[in-house]
């Protein structure tokens, strides 16, 4: 197995392993070590059946809870991310976010397998929350460590948010619900439970307020922090290939899907790995 990191260490490509086969404990340990170090891993040229994607996911823990999207028949922990060639709605996940940060225990990992990739466009961008936190001014870093953010799924998944975001025009099987109006409190600065490193952990989609601050002041701070977290020097652009699999660490990374492939279909299959309560 060969691990080739990106020049700055954020992201790595792994070759020399066949994910369609059962992996040894040592191979899984090496993958997990690389994942914790590089945060985003890609495995080129991995044609997988859904059962093999499911087996790979379970090497890293229990399945996460994936609400608001109907899973694939017979595979309750796999969702299809589909955008048809003539679809006019923006790509699913096209705003920066950390997957399901509105949950009490958001997923530790997201795993995405490319089934059909357009000839151009459709990249995924990832942002490194560790470096974003480290680059804060000392004053802002100290302030953020004492703050709690409020997260909610209401923008994309409430009934009103679903309609406003053009959800009814998507190929995705999205299930809006009033449960999306609920809120969840999480620290603005999250300590990774395995690496013990601190990451800036707010995102433009699900972070809707700051506890103890008024709406205007809270939104201003969220915009300031998100603007900082998404600076070019913290971002890795991932270019997809057919049958490529990626996995990333939601505890220190946020991401967004890019468009730019109108007239072409794009199909991905996604699973998540259960996580723990941010602290």
Local confidence pLDDT in tens for the 279 residues of the chain: 999 999 999 999 999 999 999 999 999 999 999 999 999 999 999 999 999 999 999 999 999 999 999 999 999 999 999 999 999 888 999 999 999 999 999 999 999 999 999 999 999 999 999 999 999 999 999 999 999 999 999 999 999 999 887 777 888 899 999 999 999 999 999 999 999 999 999 999 999 999 999 999 999 999 999 999 999 999 999 999 999 999 999 999 999 999 999 999 999 999 999 999 999
Which CATH superfamily hosts domain 2-273? Clavaminate synthase-like (3.60.130.10)
Half-sphere exposure of 115 (CA within 13 A, CB side): 15
Q: Find out whether 271 and 63 touch, Cβ atoms under 8 Å.
A: yes
Q: Find out whether 44 and 17 touch, Cβ atoms under 8 Å.
A: no
Terminal-residue alpha carbon distance, the chain: 34
Q: What pLDDT does residue 168 have?
A: 78
Alpha-carbon gap, residue 261 to 94, rounded angstroms: 13
Q: What pLDDT does residue 225 have?
A: 98
pTM summary value? 0.96
Alpha-carbon gap, residue 44 to 246, rounded angstroms: 9
Q: What pLDDT does residue 164 have?
A: 83
Q: What pLDDT does residue 6 have?
A: 96
Q: Find out whether 248 and 124 touch, Cβ atoms under 8 Å.
A: no
Q: What pLDDT does residue 165 have?
A: 79
Neighbours of 115 (CB within 10 A): 17
Q: What pLDDT does residue 89 have?
A: 85
Q: Pull the structure tokens for residue 205.
A: 């989609």
């Amino acid at each position: 197995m060969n691990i080739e990191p990106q020049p700055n260490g954020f992201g790595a490509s792994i070759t020399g392993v066949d994910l369609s086969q059962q992996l040894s404990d040592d191979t899984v340990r090496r993958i997990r070590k690389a994942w914790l170090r590089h945060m985003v891993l890609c495995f080129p040229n991995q044609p997988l059946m859904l059962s093999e994607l499911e087996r790979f996911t379970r090497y890293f823990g229990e399945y996460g809870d994936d609400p608001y999207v109907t899973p694939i028949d017979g595979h309750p922990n796999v969702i299809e991310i589909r955008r048809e060639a003539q679809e006019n709605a923006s790509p699913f996940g096209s705003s920066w976010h950390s997957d399901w940060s509105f949950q009490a225990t958001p997923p530790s990992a997201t795993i995405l397998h490319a089934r059909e990739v357009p000839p151009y466009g459709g990249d995924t961008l990832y942002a490194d929350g560790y470096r974003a936190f480290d680059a804060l001014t000392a004053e802002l870093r100290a302030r953020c460590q004492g703050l709690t953010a409020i997260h909610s799924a209401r923008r994309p998944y409430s009934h009103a948010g679903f309609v406003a975001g053009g959800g009814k025009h998507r190929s995705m099987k999205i299930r809006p619900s009033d449960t999306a109006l609920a809120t969840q409190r999480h620290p603005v600065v999250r300590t990774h439970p395995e690496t013990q490193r601190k990451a800036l952990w707010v995102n433009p989609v699900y972070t809707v307020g700051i506890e103890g601050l008024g709406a205007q002041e809270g939104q201003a701070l969220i915009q300031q922090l998100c603007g900082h977290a998404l600076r070019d020097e913290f971002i890795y652009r991932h270019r997809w290939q057919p049958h490529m699999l990626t996995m990333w660490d939601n505890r220190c990374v946020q991401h967004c899907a890019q468009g730019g492939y109108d007239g072409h279909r794009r199909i991905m299959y996604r699973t998540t790995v259960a996580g723990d309560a941010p602290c």
